[in-house]
Amino acid sequence: MTVQQFIGNKSKQLSYYLRAFWAGRIPHQEIELYFWDVLEEWTQVTNSTTEPCSQRERVFWHLLHQMHFWPEQKLRNDVYLRSELETCMTYLEGEGECPLDCIGIRP
């Protein structure tokens, strides 16, 4: 699997998990499990050290990090944070502008 394929597949899942968490369909622990699964699967990606990092990939890693970094209550209740994360998800889903303040990097 290439970097672009990985980011494309995982971006859809990332949005699904975060939206499901906000809707109360999955517990916060599922987000944590997803985070660790992504990191484990990343080790299987070919050319991850030679292929340049795209803006979409930067936004993906930024969003994944934010989901893992912030505690459950902040993710659920902080209006400003939710707005930022929504902007990232919308971009990853191909429907919004690229957020300028995302500085995600590969693990």
| Three-state secondary structure call for residue 16 | helix
pLDDT recorded at residue 96: 86
Tell me the per-residue pLDDT of 19-50, one tens digit each, with 9 for 90 and over.
999 999 999 999 999 999 999 999 988 776 77
pTM over 0.85: yes
Per-position DSSP letters for 72-90, written without gaps between them? HHHHHH-HHHHHHHHHHHH
How far apart are alpha carbons 38 and 9 in whole angstroms? 11
pLDDT recorded at residue 2: 86
How far apart are alpha carbons 24 and 46 in whole angstroms? 35
